[in-house]
């Protein structure tokens, strides 16, 4: 059948760059080049926009009907389910690591801090987007209260969920940690954060893709490097799938 | 005088390589969420204006579903593609390649000119070393002036880190998901151009044509003068 032949010829031709790229990607120079490109993007973004430039915010009627849950959407452990049933009355968020004044905060403590409400768009790395209204204290406020040491270069988010038998965690640099839209959200669209969206607490890092927005937060840690942290790449997806640590592109 | 200036040839091949890698890694990225939407948000496939096919592994870079590595290839090649286009445009305007070879005159927009161009090309084989005909000028103009720049603009618009630098760009496309849809549409439009372009190269003497795009060839007379 000529059709089949043409198809396999096409497949053969297409497979040449595909195969070459697949092989090439495993080499050190290619990996270094990918990392360099990631740095160029981050640098270009930071040069083009102000350090504190805000992500777009929307009007209440521009919200999407829902904010899709992705990755972990439910935590089956009895401890979590018990907390969920009790409205997270005993949930604590630790702020620790390279800080002079470690904190352990209840949900009530977090709600007693000055709050920010923002209607922003969540862009998943897969390609979909959803718009929701998030409310919570600024991360910078928590970091200031914990008095972060000057030795800290990154903020790590520790989570209660486990995916593929690994603890979920994420991290950002100080620029995004102190960004005025980086909040520890406890509400979505005027309601306590639903389980699929990370109840009771998730971080919003509005200038980066969704996998940075860690859910089910248990601790915020100031660190100097990622060397002692799981795979050493600064995040769950970065470790298991070699995802880009800078998720602004 | 060379038919193709060194800058044109360099750009042509760098761009060709970058486009192939961008397109094929883009198909891998498309497999991550195969629905396209209009507006600022879209996550529910039932709201999509188009659900595209899953692209088989022989069409994608890398040859397995790997969103992270596909994004690495895509984001790296995007630099070559975007900077190449910028340099090519600057050079074409400075060395008058654009004004001499691609800019159209009123004549080129008359259907008679199109008919003549198409008629001339219905026979296979070399069509000489003359300047581009009306159809070629218009097509190359659309690809260089709209198709390729649209890929960059829509690509930048779907980057949340770039959006804060130019939120107006996302608005101009009608929202982030619209920009993503346009990115996809333009990519396939350009793929269609590449297919036609390759067919015409094969049709009009591939050895000579490819040779000219490597060595520069020779320009016979200056029919555009």
Residues A14, B24: C-beta atoms closer than 8 Å: yes
Compute the nearest-CA separation of B219 from chain A (Å): 32
A55 contacts chain B (CB < 8 A): yes
DSSP-assigned letter for residue B42 = B
Which residues of chain B does A44 touch, with a Cβ-Cβ cutoff of 8 Å? 162
Residues B33, A124: C-beta atoms closer than 8 Å: yes
Residues A34, B72: C-beta atoms closer than 8 Å: yes
- Residue B219 pLDDT greater than 90, yes or no: no
The separation between CA B213 and the C-alpha centre of its own chain, rounded to angstroms, equals 17
User: Which of B164, B169, B184 has the highest number of chain A CBs within 10 A, making it the mutation to test binding with A?
Assistant: B164
Select the residue of A130, A209, A244 nearest B43 (Cβ to Cβ): A130
pTM of the model: 0.93
Residues A131, B44: C-beta atoms closer than 8 Å: no
- A220, A140 Cβ separation under 8 angstroms: no
What is the arithmetic mean of pLDDT over B189-209?
Answer: 94
Q: Is A78 helix (H, G, I), strand (E, B) or coil?
A: helix
Which residues of chain B does A121 touch, with a Cβ-Cβ cutoff of 8 Å? 40-41, 176
For the ranges A81-95, A219-233, B116-130, the lowest mean pLDDT is seen at: B116-130
| Residue A7 pLDDT | 67
Residues A37, B76: C-beta atoms closer than 8 Å: yes
> Which of the four pLDDT bands, split at 50, 70 and 90, describes residue A1?
very low
> Which of the four pLDDT bands, split at 50, 70 and 90, describes residue A3?
low
- B165, A49 Cβ separation under 8 angstroms: yes
| Residue B218 pLDDT | 83
- Residue B37 pLDDT greater than 90, yes or no: yes
- Residue A159 pLDDT greater than 50, yes or no: yes
Compute the nearest-CA separation of A8 from chain B (Å): 10
Among chain A residues, CA nearest to B184: A127
Compute the nearest-CA separation of A237 from chain B (Å): 9
- Residue B206 pLDDT greater than 80, yes or no: yes
- With 0-12 / 13-18 / 19 or more C-beta atoms within 10 angstroms meaning exposed / middle / buried, residue B52 is middle
Which residues of chain A does B191 touch, with a Cβ-Cβ cutoff of 8 Å? none
Select the residue of B21, B158, B161 nearest A208 (Cβ to Cβ): B161
In degrees, rounded to 5, the angle at the alpha carbon of residue A196 between the alpha carbons of residues A71 and A169 is 50
- B98, B91 Cβ separation under 8 angstroms: no
Q: What mean pLDDT, rounded, does chain A reach?
A: 94
Compute the nearest-CA separation of A224 from chain B (Å): 24
Most confident range (mean pLDDT) of A8-12, A109-113, B206-210 is A109-113
What is the arithmetic mean of pLDDT over A151-172?
Answer: 97
Mark A6-25 as b/e (b = at least 16 C-beta within 10 Å). Answer: eeeeeeeebbebbeebbebb
| Residue B127 pLDDT | 73
Which residues of chain B does A129 touch, with a Cβ-Cβ cutoff of 8 Å? 40-43, 176-177
Structure confidence by residue, pLDDT tens digits, B103-142? 999 999 999 999 999 988 888 887 766 789 999 999 999 9
- Rg of chain A (C-alpha set): 20
| Residue B224 pLDDT | 43
- Residue B57 pLDDT greater than 60, yes or no: yes
- Residue A217 pLDDT greater than 80, yes or no: yes
B121 contacts chain A (CB < 8 A): no
B174 contacts chain A (CB < 8 A): no
Mark B102-124 as b/e (b = at least 16 C-beta within 10 Å). Answer: beeeeebeeeebeeebeeebeee
Of A26 and B148, more confident: B148
| Residue A4 pLDDT | 61
B20 contacts chain A (CB < 8 A): yes
């Amino acid at each position: 059948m000529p059709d089949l032949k043409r198809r396999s010829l096409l497949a053969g031709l297409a497979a040449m760059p595909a195969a070459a790229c697949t092989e090439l990607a495993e080499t050190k120079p290619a990996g270094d080049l990918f990392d360099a490109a990631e740095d160029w993007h981050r640098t270009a973004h930071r040069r083009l926009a102000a350090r504190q430039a805000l992500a777009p915010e929307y009007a209440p009627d521009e919200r999407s009907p829902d904010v899709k849950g992705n990755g972990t959407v439910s935590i089956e452990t009895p401890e979590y389910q018990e907390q969920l049933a009790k409205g997270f009355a005993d949930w604590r968020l630790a702020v620790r690591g390279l800080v002079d004044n470690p904190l352990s905060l209840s949900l009530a403590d977090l709600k007693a801090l000055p709050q920010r409400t923002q209607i922003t768009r969540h862009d998943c790395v897969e390609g979909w987007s959803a718009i929701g209204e998030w409310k919570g204290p600024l991360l910078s406020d928590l970091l200031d209260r914990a008095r972060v040491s000057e030795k800290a270069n990154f903020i790590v988010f520790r989570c209660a969920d486990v995916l593929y038998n690994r603890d979920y965690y994420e991290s950002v640099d100080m620029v995004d940690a102190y960004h005025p839209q980086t909040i520890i959200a406890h509400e979505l669209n005027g309601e306590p954060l639903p389980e699929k969206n990370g109840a009771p607490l998730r971080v919003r890092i509005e200038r980066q893709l969704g996998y940075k927005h860690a859910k089910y937060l248990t601790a915020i840690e100031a660190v100097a490097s990622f060397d002692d942290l799981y795979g050493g790449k600064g995040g769950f997806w970065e470790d298991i799938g070699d995802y880009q640590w800078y998720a602004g592109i | 005088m060379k038919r193709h200036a060194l800058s044109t040839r360099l750009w042509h091949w760098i761009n060709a390589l970058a486009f192939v890698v961008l397109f094929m890694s883009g198909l891998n990225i498309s497999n991550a969420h195969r629905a396209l939407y209009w507006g600022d948000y879209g996550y529910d496939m039932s709201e999509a204006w188009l659900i595209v096919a899953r692209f088989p592994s022989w069409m994608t870079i890398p040859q397995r579903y790997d969103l992270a590595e596909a994004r690495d290839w895509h984001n790296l090649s995007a630099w070559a593609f975007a900077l190449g286009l910028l340099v090519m445009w600057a050079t074409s305007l400075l060395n008058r390649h654009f004004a001499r070879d691609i800019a159209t005159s009123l004549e080129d927009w008359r259907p008679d000119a199109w008919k003549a161009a198409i008629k001339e090309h219905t026979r296979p084989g070399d069509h000489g070393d003359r300047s581009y005909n009306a159809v070629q000028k218009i097509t190359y103009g659309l690809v260089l002036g709209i198709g390729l720049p649209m890929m960059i603009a829509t690509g930048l618009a779907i980057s949340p880190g770039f959006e804060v630098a130019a939120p107006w760009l996302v608005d101009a496309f009608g929202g982030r998901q619209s920009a993503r849809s346009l990115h996809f549409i333009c990519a396939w439009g350009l793929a269609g151009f590449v297919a036609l372009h390759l067919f015409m190269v094969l049709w009009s003497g591939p050895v000579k044509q490819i040779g000219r795009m490597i060595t520069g060839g020779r320009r016979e007379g200056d029919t555009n003068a």
